[in-house]
Structure formats: C-alpha cells, structure tokens
Amino acid sequence: MALNDNPFADPFSDPPRAPVETVHSNSNHSTGRTQPATNNAEDFNPFANRAPPALNNQVSGGNVLGGSRQGMDDELFRKQEELERKAQELRRREEELERRQRQSNNIDPNATNQQRPHNWPPLPTIIPVEPCFYQDIEVEIPVQFQKTVTFVYYVFLVYVLALLVNVVASLFYMIFASGPIGQLFLAVIQLGLFSPCSFLFWFRPVYKAFRNDSSFNFMVFFFVLFFHCIFTFVQTLGLSSYACGWINALDTFGVSVPIALIMLISALCFTAALIGMVVALIKVHRLYRGAGFSIDKARQEFTHGVMADASVQRAASAATSAAAGAAFQQASQGRF
C-alpha cells in the first residue's frame, strides 16, 4: 500500500481515476508519437489540421471548372457571332431578291422591249449602233439556275476570245512563217460569223430556256451546241490550215519557235472553249432531265407557240393554197 493511500477508505469501492495529463502521456508514449500536453482536453481540435487541405482542393477544383466554363463561353460566343453573320447575309440576300422581284413585277411582260433598254452587246457610245438585246442574268434568271447560265456565258466569251486569238496567230503565221493567206481570211470570217451565231443559236436559247421554262429552247441549245462541239474540235486540231490548232502549231516549230508559241496559245484557247462546251452540255442536260422536261413537251411548245402565231399561219396557208393551185393547174393541163 502506498503512503498516500487513505486508510479509512472503503476497500470495495472503485479505484480513483488517473489525471488527464497522465493518460495522454501514457497513450502517447505507447504509440511512439510525442504530442504536447494540454491542461484542458476541450482545447484540442482534431479537425484543425485537416481544414486547409480541403480548402485548397476546393479552390483548385473551382479554378479548373472556371477555366473550362470560360472556354465553353468563348466557343458559344464565337458560334453566336457566326450565326448572326449568316443571318445578316440571308437577310441581305432576301432583301435583294425582293427588290428584284418588285422590279420584275412592275414591268409588263407584253411591253418588256419598250420599258427595258437593250444592254447587250455593251458597245461604246462613240459607235453609232445600239445594243440589240436586254440581258441580265441576276434579274431574269431564277436564283438556282444563275450559276449555270453564267457558266455558259463565260464559255461563249472564251470561244470568242479563241476566235480573236486565231486571227492574230494566223496573221503572224502568214507574215513570219510563210503561212497561207487563205487561213487568215478564213479566221476573219470565222470571227465575224461564228461569234454572233454562237450567241444567237446556243447561248440565247439556253438563256430563254431557263428564263421562260421552255423545253423547246432546251432542245435548240442541245442540238446546236452538240454540232458546234464537233466543229470546235476540228478547229482545235488545226487540220488543213482551217485554224491555228495543235497540228499546224507543232509543225511550225521547225520554221519559227515564237510563231509556233503564238499558235499554241490559239490551240489552248480552242481547247478550253471545247472543254467548256462539253461541260455546259452535261450541266444543262442534268438540269433538263431533273426538271422533268421532254421532247413531247418541246413539241407541244412548238405547236402552240410557233405554229399558233398568226404570221406563221398565214404563211402556211398561202403556201398550201399555192401548192394546191399548182397541182390543180397541172392536172387540168394534162386532161385537156
């Protein structure tokens, strides 16, 4: 028994508890970790060392989410700006189409030639000749066909350029390479004849076909341009001094290299025109078949359009009367 024990205490009572400092010191000693002793157990905060890491993790997570959210906001802002630009472009096109539609509605179809001034060909004012046709692809041609008609028009211009270059090449070929003078005359005739004929017989029909939704003009375009492609192929080859094409241009290299190069330019122009004509035929034929046109519709348009004209009917009746009178006269002379 220790000296400080109470001799008058109840031997069967619970033993006294140890002080708090002793318990903490013993537990720390048994676990091998040293902690400072505290006088009051209530001052100890077990969560004091864990709060700052949790707060740091929260802040770092917030930074990542904030950066991704900012990137998404920038992407949405760019998309919104792009959509606004497209909407403005669509509104501008719609306003332009409405303006053109109002212009076309204000013009009487029966008085088109009187109200619309002719603007093609675009001749200078010093020339005392006025334009012969009114042509405006953006006004008269539907929007879905404007690119095709513009392409055919550019093909026509390339062919006219090829004819002009052919005249220049034939001139140099005659002067500096002893070329035939007949080739120069033929080149001038082709320029003066085929330029207006190309416009009248295959570009103007396809223009009116898309403008008036005419199957008959489509058939005229296909028929004329097909044979013109064959004709341009002969020009491209340069057979028998018909034009400055590939064959006579290559033969001229043995006489004069600069003249041969000029003739090669002419051959290249004819080649580009020929390729453009073939592509134009294919493009227009696809639109023709997709729109539901046919030969029967072209025949009906010819019957109700051309044959229904009063002048054509008078000419046909006059020819029929003349043929019937001649046949009756021959029969009368043979009988008597």
What are 72-117's pLDDT values in tens digits?
777 888 888 888 888 887 887 777 777 666 655 554 444 444 467 8
Residue 144, pLDDT above cutoff 80: yes
Same-domain check for residues 100 and 158? no
Same-domain check for residues 207 and 99? no
Q: For the ranges 201-205, 230-234, 307-311, which has the lowest average pLDDT?
A: 307-311
Give the three-class secondary structure for 3. coil
Whether residue 3 lies inside any domain: the answer is no
Same-domain check for residues 277 and 220? yes
pLDDT greater at residue 261 or residue 121: 261
Mean pLDDT across the chain, nearest whole number?
76
Q: For the ranges 36-40, 181-185, 218-222, which has the lowest average pLDDT?
A: 36-40
Residue 38: predicted pLDDT: 46
Whether residue 47 lies inside any domain: the answer is no
Whether residue 256 lies inside any domain: the answer is yes
Q: Where are the alpha helices (DSSP H) in 50-180?
A: 51-105, 112-115, 137-140, 146-176
Q: For the ranges 20-29, 131-140, 146-155, 276-285, which has the lowest average pLDDT?
A: 20-29
Residue 45: predicted pLDDT: 59
Measured between alpha carbons, how far is 137 from 142 in angstroms, rounded to an integer?
Answer: 8
Same-domain check for residues 200 and 272? yes
pTM: 0.61
Q: For the ranges 51-55, 276-280, 289-293, 297-301, which has the lowest average pLDDT?
A: 51-55
Amino acid at 18: A
Same-domain check for residues 213 and 262? yes
Q: Which of 193, 183, 278, 268 is nearest to 230 (CA)?
A: 278
Name the band, by pLDDT with cuts 50, 70 and 90, for residue 37. Answer: very low
Name the band, by pLDDT with cuts 50, 70 and 90, for residue 333. Answer: low
Whether residue 36 lies inside any domain: the answer is no
Residue 145, pLDDT above cutoff 60: yes
Q: 């906001």: which residue's tokens?
A: 73
| Domain encompassing residue 197 | 144-290
Average pLDDT over residues 3-12: 59
Domain count for the chain: 2
Same-domain check for residues 172 and 273? yes
Residue 32: predicted pLDDT: 45
Q: Which of 186, 165, 194 is nearest to 270 (CA)?
A: 165
204-to-25, 61, 186, 220, 310 alpha-carbon distances in Å: 111, 71, 25, 10, 24
Whether residue 323 lies inside any domain: the answer is no
Average pLDDT over residues 227-231: 95
Residue 322, pLDDT above cutoff 70: no
Rg of the chain, C-alpha, whole Å: 48
Same-domain check for residues 99 and 193? no
Residue 259: predicted pLDDT: 94
Residue 197: predicted pLDDT: 95
Measured between alpha carbons, how far is 138 from 122 in angstroms, rounded to an integer?
Answer: 17
Residue 302, pLDDT above cutoff 60: no
Please say whether the beta carbons of 179 and 173 come within 8 A. Answer: yes
Residue 196: predicted pLDDT: 94
Residue 47, pLDDT above cutoff 70: no
pLDDT greater at residue 50 or residue 6: 6
Same-domain check for residues 148 and 276? yes
Same-domain check for residues 93 and 206? no
